[in-house]
Amino acid sequence: MAEAFAREGARVAFTFRSNEEDAEEARAALAALGSPPLVFQGSVADSKHVHLVIAELQRAWGGLDVLVNNAGIQQVMPVALLEERDWDEMINVNLKGAFLFSRAALRGMIRQRRGHILCVGAFSSERMIESPVHYAAAKSGLRGLVEALAREVGRHNVQVNLLGPGLLDVGMGRMLLPHRLKEYTQQSALGRLGSAAEIAEAAVFLVSDENTFMTGAKVILDGGL
């Protein structure tokens, strides 16, 4: 997504928690596109980190037009084995982080009377499929956050939408057992996994000036489950 935004002429910033190697790879890729990014390390569930990032972006760029809440963690665990700390971490990263960043970014967006907030959810919040309870709860909560926030800030010309990818050929799609992947592709109308590039192109439209009338929407890209 960051590369797709940069190719459209956006200045890009991103955060990461711990994987310095991947962060450097992303930074280098953006720099090669002529859009060296601002990069911040920290947790989206840490309110001090969130305020530092938004304050620095305001100082460097004078404002923020687009926020993408895409931080997330995954854990495949039956509910009987879930510890309270597992639940808390899942909710903190996958849901609380979107709240903290949205709240911080909205102050500037409301002042400038424009902005896009895009939350990256999951098809499991819309489809009754087998999914870890705490993961499904967090992603369903994200759907509710998007719907309520869109109604609250629409009068300020700020649009809030949710993009729900299905299984992709990256991320969780590489972690599942072969028989699970086969089940998914057999149920999918298109009969295949999605790609990161396909999700990125949808994200570009959702936060672009071309999207003038969509807010509170849930765009599910799952190949037709």
Question: Of 5, 16, 135, 184, which one is the catalytic site residue?
Answer: 135
CB-based burial, 68-90: b 16+ in 10 Å, e otherwise: bbbbbeeeeeeeeeeeeeebebb
Is the CB of residue 72 less than 8 Å from the CB of residue 94? yes
Q: Give the residue among 203, 191, 195, 207 at the shortest CA–CA distance from 171.
A: 195
- Torsion of the alpha carbons at 132, 74, 124 and 206, rounded to the nearest 10: 160
Residue 135 bears catalytic tag:
yes
Please name the residue that has the structure tokens 């990161």: 196
Q: What angle do CA 206, 208, 209 make, to 5 degrees?
A: 125
Active-site residues, by number, are 135
